[in-house]
A and B are shown apart, each in its own frame.
Chain A
Amino acid sequence: MLKEKIKSTVTELLENKRIDFVIGYGAGSDAGTVRPAFVKSVEEVEQLIWSPFAVNNLAKFVMDHLYENIKIGVIVKGCDSRSVIRLVQDKVFPRENFYVIGVPCKGILDKNKVAKDFDLSGDLVDFTEQGDEVILKTSKGEFKLRKEDYLLDKCYRCETPTPVVYDVLLGEEVAPFRTDDYEDVKAIENLSVEEKSRYWDKQFEKCIRCYACRNVCSACNCRDCVFDMAEPNWVGKAANLSENTAFHLIRAWHVAGRCVDCGECSRVCPMGIPVNTLNRKMIKDMKELFAVETPGKNPEQGPVLGTFRTDDPEEFM
């Protein structure tokens, strides 16, 4: 059981004082939700769980401990591990201060999709996986479902089921078995100019400027953010279509070439704006222009737009 493996690994790490604390998953308000758990002592290890709904990317929480002489254990899935690379490459948090506990992952369930067919309002008591089926044992009943029907959208295009970086891997390596064809981006690219404009106007109009997409992002690691500045007032605080569009474009450009496509920005958006699609458009373009991989996937590959090769295409000459 993965949960037991997590607990024994963390217990050992804490007992041997190899880490100061660990950021893992704890039980959330209902069966479909997890909550970050910060475990500092062996007594607290009981809080740790693993859940087929463990979607949250925990890597960015290390940013609350910049410049501390500290070693933090972080539980990461494949997608989250790219965020570790991001923070290390951006020299935000040193690799040696991370203790990366990798979890191979064949896909995380989308609680919104599952909740349409099953009652997730109880507590998650236990779960078992058999082949491609998962049985959720909740306090409101037992549900059996085919995983493939209920995964997060991002999981259907996952290229890194095994973390790309780890100090310990809890489980067998999973070879990549899916590819990313950027269908979501292509669908919008194929719209007419007017349709594109209408689609994004509708999305940006909904924005309430809560900045959750920025705060959750591991590539948004500036000490001072352009959106918090009043003088100069680069982007106005007023929530209207014009300022909201400026906000989303600037946010997307600021993480261009560094966004690791973990999808957290779209997940956290309270208004259902497909924030990540803007980033994915740029990742797709960069892959086509510069023959690179998704940022963070290959630790040897630096930020795409911070790297120069003499054979780079130069459309602007």
Chain B
Amino acid sequence: MRKGYILKESFKTWLGAIKEKFPLIAPVQDDGLTLFKEVEKVDDIVLDYGITRMPPKDLFFPQTEKMFRIKNKNNVAIELESPEKVTDELVLFGVHSCDLKSILALDPVFTTRFPDRYYQERRDKTYVIGLSCTKALPTCFCTAYGINPTDADGADVHLTELGDKYLVEVVTERGEKLAAAIPGIIFEDTTNLEAEKAKLTEKVKGEIKFIDLTGVKEVLDENFELPLWEKWAQKCLGCGICTYVCPTCHCFDINDFNRGDGVGERFRCWDSCMFSDFTRMAGGHNPRPTKKERVRNRFMHKLKYHLDRYNIVGCVGCGRCVQRCPENIDIRAIISDIKGGV
């Protein structure tokens, strides 16, 4: 890993140089929400945000994605046209450590046993620039999963704001490519900056309430039935907020769009295990018939299944579901109930 720095006074110029070369996606204010969006002006980028309303996952796994076009004009032969190119190269800037980790949690789902060309291409063509947190929100709990709020894990290039400089860590080969393409990083000794970064890490960690996960997986390994699921499920509305704002939730549904004249497209779009029809079979049977099974599935996935399957966390402690759940179903409180075995 190469390390260097960018002076704050030339930082916007550096971002501007990126924007010259690539579409630049970064946190911006949009109608009162902080969202990852394509940047119009570098000045619009929000550098000191807490958390974006939506996670960055839709850069790799869009909510609605065309898979191929279907043509059946004269009812003779069906033609299928796959898109030749899914995306152009782009730069995703300003991703916090929890969201960086979430990308790593999604990778094995879409690139290992069932390689997904759409995800893979988006992933391959995106340069991810991470940005350390300088403050924590009351809903943050990344440290529960061993993530530090300044971790570079998952970024190609990672930045940390320290005084009048940004510490730059070039993490991957793709990061090297980006650093070479966009001049402005000064590769000099950064020992002092690294010491300052360590101080910042401790400061932000200190602001985060530590949630101890010791024993949680073991309880879930041993117990499928626990009274706590019914207790939490009865508060659930069955909406899709928690799964859609979650950076690691990745379920989708495949549908056809029919223009009405024999032309249409097959697309996939996000789906949610909290919806009552998520597991409903064609014949009407539903193996998860009530909210209890659905709520249990979601939290088992976050705290157990993803670890079992991919040996990586299924929750990164970003706190979006805690912030947005209309009935305040709080995964931190569920963790504490699991530990209590209730």
Direct contact of A and B (CB under 8 A): yes
**Residues in chain A near residue B269, CB distance under 8 A:** 237-239
Distance of B50 from chain A, by nearest CB (Å): 12
Q: How far is the CA of A271 from the CA of B31 in the complex (A)?
A: 9
Bound together, the chains give a CA A230 to CA B31 distance in angstroms of 32
Assuming the contacts A206-B31, A216-B239, asked whether A240 and B64 have C-beta atoms less than 8 A apart, the reply is: yes
Complex contact A211–B240 (CB within 8 A): yes
B236-265 contacts to A, CB under 8 A, are 237-241, 244-245, 253, 255, 257
A272 touches B239 (CB 8 A): no
Contact status B291-A64, CB under 8 Å: yes
Q: Tell me if A88 counts as interface (CB < 8 A to partner B).
A: no
A237-B255, A239-B269 known; A268+B328 contact, CB < 8 A: no
Is there contact, CB below 8 Å, between A212 and B326?
yes
Q: Which residues of the other chain, B, contact A272 by a CB distance below 8 angstroms?
A: 31-33
Which residues of the other chain, B, contact A230 by a CB distance below 8 angstroms?
255
B267 nearest in chain A by CB position:
A238
B234 touches A268 (CB 8 A): no
Which candidate, B71-79, B92-100, B119-127, B270-278, is the interface stretch facing chain A? B270-278
Known: A237-B253, A239-B63. Contact between A270 and B245, CB under 8 A? yes
Q: Tell me the nearest residue of chain B to A217, going by C-beta.
A: B237
Distance A206 CA – B53 CA, assembled complex (angstroms): 11
- Proximity string of chain A (254-290) to chain B, C-beta cutoff 8 Å, 1 when within and 0 when not: 0000000000100110111000000000000000000
Determine whether the beta carbon of A210 is less than 8 Å from that of B244. yes
Is A34 positioned at the interface, with any CB of B under 8 Å from its CB?
yes
Q: Determine if B234 and A38 form an interchain contact, defined as CB atoms under 8 angstroms apart.
A: yes
| B183 interface hit (Cβ, 8 Å) | no
Judge if B189 is at the interface, Cβ distance under 8 Å. Answer: no
Q: Say yes or no: is B300 at the interface (Cβ < 8 Å to chain A).
A: no
Q: A-facing mask of B266-307, CB < 8 A → 1, else 0?
A: 010110100111000000000000010000000000000000
B330 on interface, CB distance cutoff 8 Å: yes
Give chain B's interface residue range (CB within 8 Å of chain A): 35 or more
Residues of B within 8 A of A268 (CB): 237, 239, 241, 326
CA distance A61 to B63 in the complex (A): 29
Known A29-B333, A267-B326; contact A208-B244, beta-carbon cutoff 8 A: yes
Residues in chain B near residue A271, CB distance under 8 A:
33, 53
**Chain B interface main SS type:** loop
Q: Encode contact with A along B211-245: 1 for CB under 8 Å, 0 otherwise.
A: 00000000000000000000100110111110011
Min CB distance B274 to A, Å, is 9
Contact B327 A29 (CB under 8 A): no
Cβ of A137 within 8 Å of any chain B Cβ, yes or no, is no
Name A's interface SS.
loop
**Complex Cα gap A28–B328 (Å):** 6
Say whether A154 faces chain B, with CB atoms less than 8 Å apart.
no
Q: What's the minimum C-beta distance from A314 to chain B, rounded to whole angstroms?
A: 34
Asked if residues A212 and B237 are in contact (CB atoms below 8 Å), the reply is yes
Residues on A with beta carbons closer than 8 Å to the beta carbon of B277: 228
A271 to B54, CA, bound (A): 9
Inter-subunit contact B255/A212 (CB<8 Å)? no
**A30-B138, A56-B326, A238-B269 as given contacts; A211 in contact with B239, CB under 8 Å:** yes
For B35, the closest partner residue in chain A by CB is A206
User: CB-CB contacts of B133-156 with A at 8 A, as 1s and 0s?
Assistant: 000001100000000000000000
Docked Cα-Cα span, A34 to B327, in Å, equals 8
CA distance A239 to B272 in the complex (A): 14
Asked whether any CB of chain B lies closer than 8 Å to the CB of A121, the reply is yes
One of B64, B239, B275, B332 near A239 (C-beta < 8 A): B64
Smallest distance from the beta carbon of A61 to chain B beta carbons, Å? 7
**Once the chains bind, are B328 and A210 in contact (CB under 8 Å)?**
no
Cβ–Cβ < 8 Å partners of A248 in chain B: none
Q: B272 near A210 (CB under 8 angstroms)?
A: yes
Closest to A236 in B: B257
Chain B residues, Cβ within 8 Å of A237: 253, 255, 269
Pairwise interchain contact B255-A238, C-beta atoms closer than 8 A: yes
Q: Is B322 an interface residue (CB 8 A)?
A: yes
Contact A209/B267 with A38-B234, A240-B64, A272-B31 known, Cβ cut-off 8 Å? no
> Could you tell me which A residues sit within 8 Å of B by CB distance?
28-30, 33-36, 38, 56, 61, 64, 121, 202-203, 206, 208-212, 214-216, 228, 230, 233, 236-240, 264, 267-268, 270-272
Contacts A35-B329, A211-B275, A212-B326 known; 5 new A-B pairs at CB < 8 A: A56-B327, A64-B234, A211-B239, A211-B240, A272-B31
List 4 tightest A-B contacts by C-beta distance, closest first.
A212-B239, A121-B138, A268-B326, A210-B240
Q: 23 interchain pairs (CB within 8 A)?
A: A28-B330, A29-B139, A34-B328, A35-B329, A35-B330, A36-B234, A36-B327, A64-B234, A203-B31, A210-B240, A212-B239, A212-B326, A214-B239, A216-B239, A216-B326, A228-B275, A230-B255, A238-B269, A239-B269, A267-B326, A270-B53, A270-B241, A272-B33
Interface residues of B (CB under 8 A from A): 31-33, 53-54, 63-64, 138-139, 231, 234-235, 237-241, 244-245, 253, 255, 257, 267, 269-270, 272, 275-277, 291, 322, 324, 326-330, 332-333
